[in-house]
Amino acid sequence: LLFAFNFHPCQSLTNVLVPVPQPGEYTVELCTDDDKYGGFHQVAHIPYPTKRFDGKDYVELYLPARTAIVLKEHVILPKEEKK
């Protein structure tokens, strides 16, 4: 699991590059900005593909003020070849 936090009381962060251990896609498992936690639901619950810069992998996130996001690596299994 990958944890990202923004503790600032009023400054949201855009285009934040969060380092990840390996390339792939990451999905939101928990976001404190969701409606059910009293938030404004500003974080999209979509797969976040990794981006590569200078030989390192990152996911690019929007982190609203006073928010914590938990991401999980989404493993994509290769399709079996047809015989």
Average pLDDT of the segment spanning 49-76:
94
Average pLDDT of the segment spanning 16-22:
95
Residue (of 52, 34, 54, 51) closest to 43 by Cα position: 34
Joined together, the tokens standing for residue 53 give 């810069």
pLDDT at 78: 65
Domains and CATH numbers, the chain: 2-74 (2.60.40.1180)
Residue 72: how many other CB atoms lie within 10 Å: 13
Report the percentage of the chain scoring pLDDT > 90.
87
**pLDDT tens digits for 32-47?**
999 999 999 999 999 9
Joined together, the tokens standing for residue 6 give 């923004």
Q: Are 39 and 31 in contact (CB under 8 A)?
A: yes
Which residues, 6 or more positions from 45, have their beta carbon under 8 angstroms from its beta carbon? 27, 28, 31
